[in-house]
Structure 1
Amino acid sequence: MEDILRQIIGYLRGMWLYRWWGLLAAWLFGCAAAGVIYLIPDRYESSARIFVDTQSVLKPLMSGLAIQPNVDQQITILSRTLISRPNIEKLIRMADLDLAVKGKKEREDLINELSQTLKIRGTGRDNLFTLSYEDTQPERAKRVVQSLVSIFVESGLGDKRKDTDTARRFIEEQIKTYEQRLEEAENRLKDFRIKNLPLMGSSGKDYVSQVAEVSGQLAQAELALREAENSRDALRRQLVGEDPVLLPETPTQTKVSIPEIDGRIDALQKNLDGLLQRYTDQHPDVIGTRRVIEQLQAQKKKEIEARKNTPGGFGDVNSNPVYQQMKLALAESEANVASLKARVSEYAARKKQLQESAKLLPQMEAELAQLNRDYEINKHNYETLVARRESANMSVEMESSSGMAEFRLIDPPSVPIKPSAPNRLLLMPLAGIAALLCGLAVTFVISQLRPSFLDGRDLREVTGLPVLGTVSSAPDPRRKRRRRRMNLAFMGGLGGLVGIFGLMTVALAVLGNH
């Protein structure tokens, strides 16, 4: 510690030898700094405060119905991106700053200057923004801030409208695209259903349901056929042992009737009329019934011819009415059996056709599932886009009626009276301190360039040689008085420098208050 203090004292004693050089440097630097501070042109700052109100009564009411963008975030991004080259060029035209521009270089310099001097400050939480600009001309500073306020408001409203229009156009294009896709999916599904209608069924039943239904109908038809056959066989057994009743041959008879055949023909004719009411001429039941009627008519002709050739073949028909009734019942039973056979054949053919188509069922179900999936996806996307479009339209109406953000000019820009820069009241004492530091630096540098030894110890430490002794000077009153006058003059020069900067600072403060 002692060595450090001794070294510091040595530096100070060496600097004291060249104090006049330091005082001169301090005066020169101080005068130059004061002159520069006075010559700096005054800059005037004009500012304006804008409040952006993003709260709306309709917001909570329309929640979930209309699209509500994050207006606070949009305003924050706008405040950060407002100072861009296109906006600055627009501001130059609005504030008439391009009247003094004579070339591209001056224009670029003006754009760079505005980019650095334009300021937008916000509190963040309250959406309160301050727009400011400094210029050497107060009127021009006001015009620039006024133009910046206009650009700020127009950019906020214009960007919202532009974003809304862009979103609506995009949604409309997507709706048209998905509408076309939905129509194509519906056509593919319709064509597939028409192509596979036999397997799918006209009522929309699946394959298993169709097979079960046809199997049930076939079982019922087979059961009815067995019942009809048993009834017919029972009638036949009852007719065993009965004497046949033949028709008499009379010359005046124009029409010959065989009750058992005529009864069957009449019963089949009635059954055919009922079938034609439900089916077409190509239906298997209709074709089978007509074939049986034709066979019975041919059998009737043969029977008539056979009876005509038999002596006494045409007896009295009405002689045994019970026999004739049993014949009629047997004919009806035969016709019913023929009809049921045709029905059983038809149901069996349908069941066989369904069983043969079972191999194509997995592939058909996979294709149908894929078509339904594509249709549902396109339908869901289409309905979602339509809902989004309606929500966007509602948002536009809400913005036009109430406004999502309202710009309020709290403090309009005004012509500044007092300059905002430079702050000479602060710069002047700083210049005085800088002058003193400059003088100290000069004395230190000179003392290091031209070192001197003040005692034998320093000389011995520096040279490394033994010092035999030192010679001291005898006190001289005249030299002592001269040294005192020099010290007083130095202190006077130093105090004058400090006093001048102090007076200039006080003068600036007094002039600034007035």
Structure 2
Amino acid sequence: MPGAIIALIYDEAKKIWCYRWLAVVTSILLFLAAAAFILTRPNVYDAWGQIFVNKTPPVATAAQGVSLVGDGYGGAAVAARTALNDDSLERIIRKMDPSTAALPKEEMAKAVANLRMKIELKGDEDGFFDFHVKSTDPVYAQRVVHLLLTDFVGRNVNRNEGELRRAGEFLDKQIASYETMIAESKARIAAFQQRNPRFVAAMTLVGGSAGGGESADLTEARATYNTLLSQRPASAAGPSSERVAAVQSKLATLRSQYTDQHPDVVATKRELADAIAERNQAMRAGGGGDPQLASARARLLAAQRAAAGAALAPALSPALQAEWADLQRGDEVLRINYQQLVSKRHGTRVSEAVFGGDGGGKYQITRPPTVPELPIGPKRGLFLGLAAFGAIVAGLGVAYLRAAMVGIFVSRRELEQTFQLPVVGTVAWEPAWSTVEAARPGTFGAVRATMFRSWSRARLGSRSTSLRVS
């Protein structure tokens, strides 16, 4: 099997050899055409610049905790997605050639597509972006890169300013709305207090919470006061104070049920006045000059008043308590939200100062574009080598196709396989059989004679016959 393959390759090579001059001429012509095309191609220049998008500039770090936006605001990912959009490229085209402003949409779209093909954007996670522009005009490439960097910075700064300005306007509207709602909440609370003065007084006395029984503060205050009082001569100060507290509790209960003009309320008021006068007299007679005893007595009175108010809590209307609690809770929620909005508005102003302009060093051009001096292409040596290889292959292919079209036979094996007959002999070509006039070596006649002999061999090979043994 390997021998048959080698023999087949050898036969095909002999066919090509019969038309070797055709292969040589074809290869030379193709190579010359390709070389002329490659050598006439203009040089291509690559102008590039680099910009750095700082995630945490010094000003943003100084405003950390105050600024409204996060560390990734205006980051590299957002900037990269909008770097080469159609609007940006159209602005660059108009700046490069003001006459293009009158172009129709179709022509402008083609110009944008052509410019985008010349631009290459490379970025990394650290925030560095490289803008490359390849063109046959180095000055044109440098100008395009410069405009790309300028547009990149300006567009992102304007976008930051616009977003922060809209956020500030939204917060201003929300703050004004909450101020109105807080004023309405205050009006509702004031109206409730006017409608229910006794309930509000009882709730103020209770402290806004319901309870029952004697509190720990009252027990402790009474124990302290009794201890200090036992160390002094007996007096009516202790019982008189308790009487005052009892009368006050009674008066509060009556006020929750009747008006101040009710006879029971009027009588209880007089009883309270008598009890207070009795207590004051007892205090003056029982060592009222002692600061420690006076402090304990004041604490006991405060605890008794709180206990008296707590005793009124169960008698308060549940509906009024629920309405009062809703008013208080709604007002508190509004105030908390209002304070949060004010804080955000302050943060927006700080963010506008930090990210509204490029003064904080958010965008830094780390490598300004320059006019390139050396071209990057085309790689003529590589292209010429490929052209030479392709020309040789094409020449061999043309010679092989010519041999296949003529249909010559170069071996007995081909004759036997084609006609399915045995070959008993072959006739060799002799140069002496040629009828072409002899010519001196190196002249045109010699070349013509050589070419004629090659043609005669091919024709003779194509007309060979085989003999059949009967």
Within-5 A mapping of 1:154-169: 154-169=154-169
Across the aligned residues of Structure 1 and Structure 2, the Cα RMSD in angstroms comes to 4.4
1:473–1:286 CA distance, 2 compared to 1 (3 A): closer
Change (3 A) 1:478 1:128: farther
Find the counterpart in structure 2 of residue 146 from structure 1: 146
Question: Which position in structure 2 is the counterpart of 1:136?
Answer: 136
CA distance in 2 between partners of 1:353 and 1:403 (Å): 63
Q: 1:153 to 1:471 in 2, by over 3 A?
A: same
2:422 is matched with 468
Amino acid at match of 1:472: T
Residue 258 of structure 1: aligned partner: none
| Separation (CA, whole Å) in 2 of partners of 1:366 and 1:87 | 61
Structure 2 equivalent of residue 62 of structure 1? 63
- Point out the structure with max Rg over C-alpha: 1
CA distance in 2, matches of 1:380, 1:163: 26
Aligned to 1:219: none
1:282 to 237, 252, 261: 261
Task: Give distance in 1, aligned partners of 2:358 and 2:108.
Answer: 41
Other-structure match for 1:295: none
Give the whole-Å Cα distance in 2 for the aligned partners of 1:212 and 1:421.
98
SS in 2 for 1:64: coil
- Letter of the 1:173 partner, please give it: K
CA drift at 1:352: 13
3-state SS of 2:204 partner: coil
Identity %: 25
In the TM superposition, residue 23 of structure 1 has moved relative to its aligned partner by 3.2
Question: CA 1:354 to 1:437, structure 2 compared with 1: closer, same or farther past 3 Å?
Answer: same
Question: Residues 91 and 144 of structure 1 are in contact (CA less than 8 Å); yes or no, is this contact kept in structure 2?
Answer: yes
- 2:361 corresponds to which of 394, 405, 425: 405
Match of 2:391 among 435, 445, 452: 435
Q: Given that residues 74 and 156 in structure 2 are in contact (C-alpha distance below 8 angstroms), is that contact kept between their aligned partners in structure 1?
A: no
- Give the aligned residue type for 2:430: D
- Is the contact between residue 182 and residue 331 of structure 2 (CA under 8 Å) also seen in structure 1? yes
CA change 1:189–1:447 in 2 (3 A) is farther
2:416–2:423 Cα contact (<8 Å) kept: no
Structure 1 residue 393 and structure 2 residue 394: aligned?
Answer: no
**Any residues of structure 2 matched to 1:44-193 within 5 Å, and which?**
44-70=45-71, 74-95=75-96, 97-99=97-99, 103-104=103-104, 106-125=107-126, 127-188=127-188, 191=191
**Helix, strand or coil for the counterpart of 1:203?**
helix
Check whether the contact 1:98–1:107 (CA below 8 A) recurs between aligned residues: no
Quickly say closer, same or farther: Cα 1:436–1:177, change in 2 above 3 A.
farther
Take 1:352 and 1:161, find their aligned partners in 2: how far apart are those partners? 60
Alignment CA distance shift 1:390-1:288 (3 Å): closer
* Change over 3 Å in CA distance of 1:54–1:280 after alignment to 2: closer
- Distance change (3 Å), C-alpha of 1:477 and 1:149: same
SS, match of residue 134 in structure 2: strand
Partners of 2:412 and 2:351 in 1: CA distance: 94
Residue 415 (str. 1) matches residue 394 (str. 2): no
Quick check: 1:46–1:141 contact (8 Å CA) kept in 2?
A: yes
- Is this contact kept in 1: 2:20–2:399, CA < 8 A? yes
CA distance change for structure 1 residues 446 and 373 in 2, over 3 Å: closer, same or farther?
farther
Residues 448, 85 of structure 1: alpha-carbon distance in 2 compared, 3 angstrom cutoff: same
Structure 2 Cα separation of the partners of residues 63 and 208 of structure 1: 42
Confirm or deny: 8 A CA contact 1:54 1:405 kept in the other structure: no
- Name the counterpart of 2:34: 33
Cα offset, 1:28, TM superposition: 3.0
Q: Deviations over 1:385-414 (max 9, x none)?
A: 221112222233445799433544444333
> 1:472, CA displacement in angstroms?
1.7
Q: Offset of 1:450 from its aligned partner? A: 5.1
State the alpha-carbon separation in 1 of the partners of residues 176 and 433 from structure 2. 108
2:240 corresponds in structure 1 to none
5 Å-filtered alignment, 1:327-346, equals none
Once residues 125 and 266 of structure 2 are traced to their aligned partners in structure 1, the CA distance between those partners, rounded to angstroms, is: 92
Task: Quote how far apart the aligned CAs of 1:115 are.
Answer: 1.9
Matches of 1:390 and 1:207, distance apart in 2: 35
Post-superposition Cα deviations, 1:192-230, rounded to whole Å, max 9, x if no partner, equal 5665665663416499948989xxxxxxxxxxxxxxxxx
Please identify, of 373-382 and 145-154, the stretch whose mean Cα deviation from structure 2 is larger.
373-382
Say which SS state the counterpart of residue 427 (structure 2) adopts. coil
Deviations 1:38-72 (A, max 9, x none): 33333433333334455534444433232354358
Distance 1:421 1:186, change over 3 A: farther
The alpha-carbon distance between structure 1 residues 108 and 394, as it changes in their structure 2 partners (threshold 3 A), is closer
**Letter of the aligned partner of 1:169 in structure 2?**
E
TM-score, length basis structure 2: 0.60
Q: What are the ranges of 5 or more consecutive residues in structure 2 without an aligned counterpart? A: 215-250, 269-310, 440-445, 452-470
Query: Which runs of 5 or more structure 1 residues have no equivalent in the other structure?
Result: 214-274, 290-350, 491-514
CA distance in 2, matches of 1:100, 1:65: 47
